Amino acid sequence: MAYAIPASLIEEANAAARPANDEDFHALSRTLARRGRDAEAATAQVARFAVAVPTWGVGTGGTRFARFPGPGEPRGIFDKLEDCATIHALTRATPTCSPHFPWDEVPDLAELRQRAEALGVGFDAVNSNTFQDQPGQARSYKFGSLSHVDAATRAQAVEHNLRCIEIGRALGSKALTVWIADGSNFPGQSHLGRAFDLYLESMAAIYAGLPADWRVFIEHKVHEPAFYSTVISDWGTSLMAAHALGPKAACLVDLGHHAPNVNVEQVVARLVRAGRLAGFHFNDSNYGDDDLDTGSANPFRLFRVFDVLVDAELGKAPGFDPAYMLDQSHNVTDPIESLTCSAIEAQRAYARALLVDREALAAAQEADDVLLAHRIFKEAYETDVTPLLAEARRRAGGAIDPLAVYRRSGYRARKAQERPDAGGTRSGIV
Ligand code: PSV
Ligand code: MN
């Protein structure tokens, strides 16, 4: 029987941690009441917040130079599901995982679904992979996939995406996320306009294969691995594609996929206005990729993104039904610990955004009172919502201090015994 953190361990730890957290929660409730904010309402909203865990995230990622895997890493999708379930048991914020194919390919999809159900994990968007060649694959993606100049290579990439839809149907997913590594590294290498036309043609074939209640998420990325041009480089290109494809297509924003200094919250605001925000991949980025843990380097930026998301949620923006996922690569930490903390950081930014006094903010904006508007905004960000997050977790059956419980459980050491290293590569982005 594979080890799982027993509920009794969480309960015992919570019993010890509860008196202090109760005190802090009540103090916070009083502070918020003075500001006309309702801690109970915010706690209930935080408890409903959910963010998916990517199956590849529970393995150690790599830089372009090396990979330093830790003990007890998942050996395949079934192990990954166990780790995803562990993060959810501790945080109660990650009820679904987002699989990647062919990384998570198994011969029996019914078994995969059953194992996930038994672990209490659902499936979020299915991710296709045409950015790597697979053993035995007829055509190479070295020079592109959906926008490749060769029709047979494009057809192969389309087929793979259609297969991902089939897999997703078997798993109970409702969306396909398409991120392509297509682009060019040398000026002149590629016809920039034609590459986009070919992409649209391929995507139209994928779109035609979507079930009626499915959506397709278009994920843009300005850089890497095509460092001169990427075909789906930015939100403008992504929105053009969504419009060309139809109402089931929407634009997915990954925080790390922008040029440095891009105002990501404004990108989100524009896509909300267009009714085409598919969702968000949370991480943090310093120089320009998604390799840092959510909220670790720039929590204020994360808050600014959540402010726009909450504004859309509270304002019931038409078509607003975002899929949230953590998408980060772990090189020097235990991936379960990083993902646990990141789920909480996403909740923290969400809770703070819920505390923005939007009426007062709107009044200050209308009055051109710049500094008051900024202070109202900042006041919510500066609020320490830690006890509120812990209380939301406790009420949902999670841990007041998830990291402490995880470490006390010895989960990783147990997995190191259960999952002996068989050599070869393991999960994680390499
Ligand atoms: C690409 O950088 C990305 O953000 C996409 O979501 C991929 O599917 C994922 O990372 C894994 O490579
Ligand atoms: Mn992503």
Tell me the per-residue pLDDT of 87-138, one tens digit each, with 9 for 90 and over.
Answer: 999 999 999 999 999 999 999 999 999 999 999 999 999 999 999 999 999 9
SS3 99: coil
For ligand 1, atom 12, which residue shows the shortest CA distance?
A: 429
How far, in Å, is the centroid of ligand 2 from the Cα of 7?
32
Share of the chain above pLDDT 70, in %: 98
User: For 154-179, b where at least 16 C-beta lie within 10 A, e where not — what string?
Assistant: bebbbebbbbbbebbeebebbbbbbb
The pLDDT of residue 338 is 98
Residues 372 and 400: beta-carbon distance below 8 Å = no
Which ligand neighbours the alpha carbon of 279 most closely?
2
Residues 217 and 125: beta-carbon distance below 8 Å = yes
Q: What are the pocket residues of ligand 1 if the criterion is a CB atom closer than 6 Å to any ligand atom? A: 56, 127, 179, 219, 221, 254, 281, 290, 327, 429
User: What is the rounded average pLDDT of the residues 422-430?
Assistant: 53
Closest CA to 214 of 285, 254, 164, 253: 164
- Whole-angstrom distance, CA of residue 196 vs CA of residue 121: 37
The pLDDT of residue 54 is 98
- Whole-angstrom distance, CA of residue 219 vs CA of residue 226: 15
- Whole-angstrom distance, CA of residue 52 vs CA of residue 198: 31
Q: What residues form DSSP beta bridges with 282?
A: 326
For ligand 1, atom 6, which residue shows the shortest CA distance?
A: 179
Q: Which of 67, 98, 103, 127 to mutate to test the pocket of ligand 1 (most atoms within 8 A of CB)?
A: 127
The pLDDT of residue 90 is 98
Angle between helices 402-409 and 411-418 (to 10 degrees): 40
Which ligand neighbours the alpha carbon of 180 most closely?
1
Summarised one tens digit per residue, pLDDT across range 363-418 is 999 999 999 999 999 999 999 999 999 999 999 999 999 999 999 999 999 999 99
- Half-sphere CA count of 310, side-chain side, radius 13 A: 25
For ligand 1, atom 10, which residue shows the shortest CA distance?
A: 327
Which ligand neighbours the alpha carbon of 226 most closely?
1
Per-residue pLDDT for 267 more than 60?
yes
Per-residue pLDDT for 359 more than 80?
yes
Summarised one tens digit per residue, pLDDT across range 176-223 is 999 999 999 999 999 999 999 999 999 999 999 999 999 999 999 999
Identify which has the larger pLDDT, 62 or 114: 114
The pLDDT of residue 63 is 75
User: What is the rounded average pLDDT of the residues 73-91?
Assistant: 97
Q: Which of 327, 329, 429 to mutate to test the pocket of ligand 1 (most atoms within 8 A of CB)?
A: 327
- Whole-angstrom distance, CA of residue 19 vs CA of residue 15: 8
User: What is the rounded average pLDDT of the residues 137-151?
Assistant: 98
Q: Which of 55, 146, 219 to mutate to test the pocket of ligand 1 (most atoms within 8 A of CB)?
A: 219
SS3 218: strand
The pLDDT of residue 41 is 98
For ligand 1, atom 7, which residue shows the shortest CA distance?
A: 179
Per-residue pLDDT for 430 more than 70?
no
| H or E stretch at 96 | strand 96-98
User: What is the rounded average pLDDT of the residues 43-72?
Assistant: 92
| Ligand 1 nearest-atom number relative to CA 56 | 11
- Half-sphere CA count of 393, side-chain side, radius 13 A: 35
How far, in Å, is the centroid of ligand 2 from the Cα of 288?
13
How far, in Å, is the centroid of ligand 1 from the Cα of 290?
8
Q: What is the mean pLDDT of the chain?
A: 96
For ligand 1, atom 5, which residue shows the shortest CA distance?
A: 179
The pLDDT of residue 290 is 72
| Ligand 1 nearest-atom number relative to CA 429 | 12
Phi (first) and psi of residue 136, to 5 degrees: 80, 5
User: What is the rounded average pLDDT of the residues 166-180?
Assistant: 98
For ligand 1, atom 9, which residue shows the shortest CA distance?
A: 327
- Whole-angstrom distance, CA of residue 10 vs CA of residue 219: 37
Cβ-in-10-Å burial (0-12, 13-18, 19+) of 131 comes to middle
Which ligand neighbours the alpha carbon of 282 most closely?
2
- Residue whose token pair is 């900024």: 374
Q: Which of 254, 264, 291, 330 to mutate to test the pocket of ligand 1 (most atoms within 8 A of CB)?
A: 254
How far, in Å, is the centroid of ligand 1 from the Cα of 179?
7
How far, in Å, is the centroid of ligand 2 from the Cα of 254?
5
Summarised one tens digit per residue, pLDDT across range 316-338 is 999 999 999 999 999 999 999 99
Which ligand neighbours the alpha carbon of 126 most closely?
1
